[in-house]
Structure formats: structure tokens, C-alpha cells
Chains A and B, each alone.
Chain A
Amino acid sequence: MTAVELLQFARGPALWASVAVLLAGSLWRILGIVRLGSRPDLSTPRSTRLFAGAMRGIFARMVPRVEFRLQKKLSFWNGYVYHLGLAVIVFGYLPHIQFVERLTGLAWPPLPDPVVYVCVGLTFVSLFIALMERLTDPVRRLLSGFDDYFSWAVVVLPLATGMIAIQQSDQLPLAIHLMSVELLFVWLPFGKLAHAFLVFASRGVTGAALARKGAPL
């Protein structure tokens, strides 16, 4: 298979197959949890504004309470760096926007390339700090398993292959970059990367439950 053929494969069948797995797997995971059902809460609520509570849970937890913010741990702030960095790279880089436009017709103004390149560097460093902390901190090392390390690799790969693809005009690096993204799509619904959508349910459920009691969030 030539580089051109590999790129065609990555842009065609591999892309659609990975997107199908991403959507079907995510749906399966969500429905698999929803089907477990829940019993109605018979206690008298202090507040019935449960939807507002769920929304508050989702958005308020983006920033920790001041009591926990004071811990000032590197990992704590590092989490923001790689999440925001990835968002800037995925949604702010012109070739990515053009890629989405080709598939969906949707487009938006890009960020200047130098800004994105700085974000790539910061995110790369930030993800390695995250890995180092996971390997060295006794708590995170105890909590971590295959899913944690594989998910880390699956996130870093598109970043690394993307950095190579930027520097070369060959089609092979671009094909490899695309396929690394497709690997991420395929893995996302099955491992901890699914927190990308599970976070809304988890925070929402707790936000609603605490709102029901009138308890602090």
C-alpha cells in the first residue's frame, strides 16, 4: 500500500468506521447504564429545582470550591492546561477546521498558527507531567491501571503524529496522524476517555441530588 492509498484509506473507510464505533460505542455505554434504572425518591424534597441543580453541578464543578483550590498542587492546575490545550488544538487549528468543514460543511474562524503551536508544546509537556505524576504519586499509582496508561497514549499519539505531520509535506505522516485520531475515536467509548460525556451525567446526577436536599454543591 502506498502513502497515497493509506491516506485515502484513513480519510475514507477507516474514518467512517472509527466514527461509527465512537457513536455506537458511546450510545451503547450510555444506554447500558440508563437501562439499570432508578427507583423514585419518596422523601419530600427541600427543593424541586432539580434541573437547575443538575446544570449547576455540571458547570460549578469546572472550578473547584475555594477550600480545595488552596491545595495548589501541580496536577490540579495541570489538568486545566492539557484540557484547554487540546480544545485549542482540535477546534482552533485551521487544517482541523477545514477537515471538519469537508465532512460536515461547518466552519469557524481559526486561531493564528503560532498560538496553536504554542498550545501544542504546552499540552505535550502538560501530558507528560500528568504521566509522571501518575507514575510517582502513590495515590494515583494505586488507582491507575491499563486503561489509564493506554488512554494517555491514545491521547498523546495524535499530538505527536500531528507535530510530525505539520513539519512534513509527505502524505504518510498525515495518514498516520489521521489513523492515530481514529484509534482515539475507537477507544474513547470503552475506556476512561468516555469521561468526555460521562462527566455531564455524573455531575448532573449529583447536582440534582444535592439540590433536592438543599445541600451545598
Chain B
Amino acid sequence: MTQRARAVLESAKAPDARRAAREFVAQAGRDAAFQLEACVHCGQCADACHFHLVTGDPRLTPIYKLRPMLKAYEREAAPFASVKKALGFAPPEVTTEELHEWSELLYDSCNLCGRCTLACPMGIDIAGLVRLAREGMAAGGFAPSDLYKAAQRALDTGSPIGLRWPALKRQIELQEQETGLKVPIDAEGAEYLVVLTSIEIMGFPEAIGALARIFRQAGATWTIPSAGFEATNVGVQMGSREVAAELLSRIVDAAERLKVKTLISPECGHAYSALRWEGPNLIGRRYGFEVVQIAELLDRFVREGRLRLRGKDRRRLTFHDPCQLVRRGGITEAPRRLMDGVSANQVEMPASGAASFCCGGGGGVSAIHRAEGLRFAAFEIKKQQIEATGAEAVVTACGNCRNVLEEAIEHYGMTMPVLGLTELVAQYLDNDGR
């Protein structure tokens, strides 16, 4: 598996349009083909995409981003492909120049947020198709170099930013000192296995302390693995199932080695997609454990009475919906119920929930340096929505969203903290008698 993953990274050294086209065709199975063929070119997806809305660039129309994949499919695999080829009506082969141009469309200007999917009157899952198209781009060597480099680091060190176990161990020790609670490492037979993202570990390590306090009050056993602790899956973001499967298998190995019942997906939207929905398909088998997102677990603990909350945050708070958890992941109610439990003054952004706008950094965009300007531009819509609420702080349930929101808020000279939902819940735990 590792060799296959590394072979994908080699493709970046010699981009090959034909290799990309073969992968586009391989990805166009029955369900994808029904959707590729159903487009009526109405352009309504353009009005759902923040990248198009802020730039007005018609090339950023979501369905247009799929054009190379559609061309390859129509040329090689569509129902009338052979007839069209014989008559000279088949689309031309995709070219290297074309795919270099589309790298910007399929990566820099797509968060895989799925707002276009929600808007398409033909029911085309455009975001899902972009995810498949990225497989072709990555296999052909046309993914952004930043993502290949992040994948290389993840394969080499376990983390896309090169973070290794000693760094996490140090952060855990600091949180143990802070909270006075022991964080179990590699505890076999624990109920819950917690994995983390590099962003949380380095940017928001207090999340670890928050988890320690939460699990203590819930009376649940938990552990963090010293190997396979990184939840970020750059393979899913760049579109390489080989890389994604290799990274994911490290977590699955840890869960099976430690014989846990439940794997906790941390505050990260794409990690949840990778662990919960793509994972078993990537490794080709069902898990022997359950995958639960941390917000779902907290909500479950609160409803079972295992977590008791006391007091509420009095500030005017607004919740940013992480796309991969809410719109794409089906976790729609748990974050709102938790917010209701800890916030006395919550105000919703316009079109919040299922149709909310992305922070602009999802789908690997935050890791693509050349996309930074576009990402900040796309944030303009979110900025207006946040300002419309008059909120004093933004709460979210995704470390990447949180990081991207913090950067953009700073970029626009706004002054507003961005809080993690888990930490907020931990802050309002009723610790009487504990």
C-alpha cells in the first residue's frame, strides 16, 4: 500500500494527461455517469458557489470544473462513445495544458463544500464528482505541488506538517499539567480512541485538556495512540485513494491494536469524511469499530446525562457550520443542541445550517499557498454574514475552519475570537463533586 501511495507522488514529477484521463474514466462508475450525463447547463450551481459569487468568473462555475473528466468520459466510456469516435464526433483528448489550467479550478477554487450539490435542480452531486475528478488530477500529476508535498510529509512522518509523536507527547504533558488530569496513551481496551489533527495539536492544544475533562466527567475510558494519531487525510483532499488509504490504515491499525469500541473523529470536517464515509471503501473492508464525531459524542453524553453543564456563555455567539460535518456528513442537530446548552445568546448567520457558506479553506484549499488570495476573497461572503449577526465570537466544530476563520478575520482587520465547540462545552462542565 505504501509503495502505491508513493508512486502517486512520483507522478507529480512527470505530469501525464493520458494517465489523468484513464483515471477520470475509471472513476466514472454508474452513479457518477448518470450525474455527468444529466447536466442541462442551467448554470444555477454558479450562484451557489462563493468562489464564483465573489469573482464573477464564469470559469469558476462548479459544473464547468468537471469538463476534463466529462470529456474523457464522453470520449471513452459514455454509451455512444464508440459510435461518436467512429463518426468523428467524440470530444478531443484532454491535454496537459488544459489540465494545468483546470488544476486551479478543481483545487484552488473548490472546497468540496457541496453547496452546488444542494442547488443543482438535476440533483447532480457536483462536489462528489469534483472529489472523483481530483483522483484523475492527482494520478496524472496535476494536483497542486503543496498537496503533493503535504502528502509526502504525511507518508514520511505521519503528519502533513511533519509533526511526530514527541511533539504531541509534549503537548499532552503540558495539558496534563494544565488540567491535573492524566491523558491515557496507548491504553488497550479503552472505550474511545481519540485521534487529532496537526492543526489542533499545534494551534489549539487546549482541546486535549478539554477532552480529558469531558471524558473524566462522562466516566468513560479513552486513549490517544502514539502511532496513528493524525486524523488529517491529505489523500482525500488531493484526490489520491492510495495516499488516503495508507494514511487511514494507520488509524485503523491503531484502533484494532488497542481493541477500542469507538473511534472519535476530532474537530475536522475532512477527517470525518475520510474516517466515517470514505474509510471502509478506501481500505476495502468494514471496520470492527464505530466512528463517531466528537460533537455527536458530546451530544450523546449530554442527552444521556453523563455530561452535566452549568452556566452559559453570555456573549453574542454565532456558529459556523463545517461543510463536511453538516452539509456533507449528516451531523446537523448535535452541534446546535450543544450550542444551545452552553450559549445564552446565540444568533444564526443568514442561510445557516445546510446551505451555509464554507469558510473558504476546506477541501485542501487552506494548504494551497497559491490559492491564498482567492481564499481571502471568497471569505468576503462569510465576513458579511458574520458581521450581520453582530456576534462577539464565532464558534465552530472544525479545526481547519477555525484556523481559516482566524486567518481571514485577521486579514480583514476584524477583531473576534474563534472558539472550538469542544472547548466551549468543557468550559461549562458542572464540576461539582468531581
Closest Cβ of chain A to B60, distance in Å, is 9
Q: Using an 8 Å CB-CB cutoff, how does the interface string of B346-387 with A read, 1 for contact, 0 for none?
A: 000001011100000000000000000000000000000000
Closest Cβ of chain B to A44, distance in Å, is 7
Taking a contact as CB atoms under 8 Å apart, the answer to whether A202 and B122 are in contact is: yes
Taking a contact as CB atoms under 8 Å apart, the answer to whether B79 and A29 are in contact is: yes
Taking a contact as CB atoms under 8 Å apart, the answer to whether B277 and A202 are in contact is: no
Is A108 engaged at the interface, CB distance under 8 Å to the other chain?
A: no
Chain B residues near A73 (CB, 8 Å)?
47
A contact patch SS: helix
Chain A residues near B64 (CB, 8 Å)?
139, 142-143
Chain A residues near B326 (CB, 8 Å)?
216
Is A161 engaged at the interface, CB distance under 8 Å to the other chain?
A: no
Is B37 engaged at the interface, CB distance under 8 Å to the other chain?
A: yes
Residue of B31, B122, B280, B327 touching A38 (CB-CB under 8 A): B31
Q: Contacts A194-B37, A202-B38 given: A36-B354 contact, CB under 8 Å?
A: no
CA distance A202 to B120 in the complex (A): 10
Chain B residues near A148 (CB, 8 Å)?
41
Taking a contact as CB atoms under 8 Å apart, the answer to whether B37 and A198 are in contact is: yes
Taking a contact as CB atoms under 8 Å apart, the answer to whether A205 and B31 are in contact is: yes
CA distance A210 to B123 in the complex (A): 11
Taking a contact as CB atoms under 8 Å apart, the answer to whether A139 and B121 are in contact is: no
Residue of B37, B56, B59, B123 touching A206 (CB-CB under 8 A): B123
Is B417 engaged at the interface, CB distance under 8 Å to the other chain?
A: no
Taking a contact as CB atoms under 8 Å apart, the answer to whether B29 and A195 are in contact is: no
| Number of chain B residues whose Cβ lies closer than 8 Å to a Cβ of chain A | 62
Residue of A39, A71, A139 touching B29 (CB-CB under 8 A): A39
Taking a contact as CB atoms under 8 Å apart, the answer to whether B354 and A65 are in contact is: yes
Taking a contact as CB atoms under 8 Å apart, the answer to whether B40 and A36 are in contact is: no
- 5 examples of A-B residue contacts, CB within 8 angstroms: A36-B28, A38-B31, A75-B42, A190-B80, A215-B328
| B contact set with A: CB distance below 8 Å | 28-31, 33-35, 37-44, 46-48, 52, 56, 58-59, 61, 63-64, 77-80, 117-125, 128, 276-281, 284-287, 290-291, 326-332, 351, 353-355
Chain B residues near A68 (CB, 8 Å)?
44, 47-48, 118-119, 355
A71's nearest neighbour on chain B, judged by CB, is B47
Q: How extensive is the interface on chain A, given as a class?
A: 35 or more
CA distance A204 to B122 in the complex (A): 10
| A contact set with B: CB distance below 8 Å | 28-29, 31-39, 41-44, 46, 57-58, 61, 64-65, 67-68, 71, 73, 75-76, 79, 134, 137-144, 148, 190, 192, 194-195, 198-199, 201-207, 209-210, 213-217
Taking a contact as CB atoms under 8 Å apart, the answer to whether B29 and A36 are in contact is: yes
Taking a contact as CB atoms under 8 Å apart, the answer to whether A215 and B327 are in contact is: yes
Chain A residues near B291 (CB, 8 Å)?
44
Q: Contacts A29-B80, A75-B42, A137-B43 given: A205-B35 contact, CB under 8 Å?
A: yes
3 tightest A-B CB contacts, nearest first: A32-B79, A203-B123, A214-B330
Taking a contact as CB atoms under 8 Å apart, the answer to whether B124 and A202 are in contact is: yes
CA distance A41 to B47 in the complex (A): 31
CA distance A202 to B35 in the complex (A): 5
Q: Contacts A73-B47, A142-B59, A202-B35 given: A213-B328 contact, CB under 8 Å?
A: yes
Closest Cβ of chain A to B111, distance in Å, is 16
Q: Contacts A36-B30, A205-B35 given: A140-B42 contact, CB under 8 Å?
A: yes
Taking a contact as CB atoms under 8 Å apart, the answer to whether A215 and B285 are in contact is: no
Taking a contact as CB atoms under 8 Å apart, the answer to whether A42 and B281 are in contact is: yes
B277's nearest neighbour on chain A, judged by CB, is A43
Q: Contacts A33-B33, A206-B124, A209-B31 given: A65-B119 contact, CB under 8 Å?
A: yes
Closest Cβ of chain A to B237, distance in Å, is 18
Closest Cβ of chain A to B296, distance in Å, is 10
Taking a contact as CB atoms under 8 Å apart, the answer to whether B276 and A199 are in contact is: no
Chain A residues near B330 (CB, 8 Å)?
46, 210, 213-216
B79's nearest neighbour on chain A, judged by CB, is A32
CA distance A209 to B125 in the complex (A): 9
Chain B residues near A38 (CB, 8 Å)?
29-31
